[in-house]
Amino acid sequence: MLKIIKNILRGFTWWHSQTLNTQFFTWRKGIKVGQDKTGNIFYTSKDGIKRWVIFSGDAEASHVSPEWHGWLHHTWNELPTEKPLIKQKWELDHISNMTGTVKAYAPTGSIKRSTPEPRQDYEAWRPQ
């Protein structure tokens, strides 16, 4: 039953993965060029002009790593599998946007924290 509902959603929504139209277009004109560690699959058209991604989960742009983002937007033509980006020692690993999840940032004093700190009043800035 769940699979039937999921397939019906695919026909009318784009944010749950790919629509049936995108799947058909990918089947007809797409060439798979790679897959990232989160399961997103990347395609290019046969003429090499169009590039797109089929997300492994919800269609959220922040799920694409910087390497593949650069390739998708024609910043470079080399695939990240062929010529990986050089990672600097000070760079952090890529993480998706966590807004709306339990891992979202919550400042000190926020009631969304598991142990919120007591709220403090502040002094407003006044020009001198």
pLDDT digits (tens, 9 = 90+) for 83-124: 988 889 999 888 888 888 888 888 877 777 777 676 667 778
CA distance 102 to 100: 7
CA-closest candidate to residue 71, choices 52, 93, 92:
52
- Tally of domains in the chain: 1
Using the structure block, give the residue that is written with the tokens 């919550």.
106
| Residue 99 domain flag | no
| Residue 91 domain flag | no
Checking if the pLDDT of 14 tops 60, the result is no
Q: Is residue 52 within 8 Å of 61, Cβ to Cβ? A: no
CA-closest candidate to residue 80, choices 90, 99, 94, 101:
94
| Residue 26 domain flag | yes
| Residue 48 domain flag | yes
**Interior angle at CA 28, CA 1 and CA 56, nearest 5:** 45
